[in-house]
């Protein structure tokens, strides 16, 4: 689809942002998605490149599958629009900030820091 025929993504209220964030987090808790995420995390190990190549795409797809249920497109553009909508509320709503941080930790988990010999 060309940019000139861009699909309109929804604008969210504070409460809608919370509902969708909770729905996304719930999706990551489903048995099948937990299993998928565990498998790709184990396969990636502590390799940042493998994390980006294996874990991030699976996590992003889980998020996009939920976002489609709320009027966003099921692609990167929909995820980016959703993220921008959430950021509008993060400073003023501690619950949205907390939910958003939890999602960020799922999408881009911190890698363990290698211990340097002393």
Residues 1-45 have pLDDT tens digits of 444 345 667 788 999 999 999 999 999 999 999 999 999 999 998
pTM of the model as a whole: 0.82
Instruction: State the pLDDT at residue 59.
Output: 93
Instruction: State the pLDDT at residue 63.
Output: 95
Instruction: State the pLDDT at residue 107.
Output: 81
- DSSP notation for 27-87: HHHSHHHHHHHHHHHHHHTT-HHHIIIIIHHHHHHHHHHHHGGGT--SSHHHHHHHHHHHH
CA distance 57 to 96: 24
Q: pLDDT band for position 70 (50/70/90)?
A: very high
Q: Kindly list the domain boundaries of the chain, sorted by start residue.
A: 12-107
């Amino acid at each position: 689809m060309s940019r000139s025929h861009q699909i309109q993504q929804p604008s969210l209220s504070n409460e809608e942002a919370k509902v969708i964030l909770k729905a996304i987090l719930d999706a990551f808790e489903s048995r099948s998605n937990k299993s998928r995420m565990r498998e790709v995390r184990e396969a990636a190990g502590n390799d940042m490149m493998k994390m980006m190549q294996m874990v991030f795409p699976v996590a992003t797809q889980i998020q996009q599958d939920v976002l489609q249920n709320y009027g966003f497109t099921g692609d990167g553009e929909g995820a980016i629009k959703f993220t921008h909508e959430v950021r509008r509320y993060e400073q003023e709503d501690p619950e949205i900030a907390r939910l958003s941080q939890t999602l960020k930790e799922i999408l881009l988990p911190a890698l363990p820091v290698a211990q340097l010999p002393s």
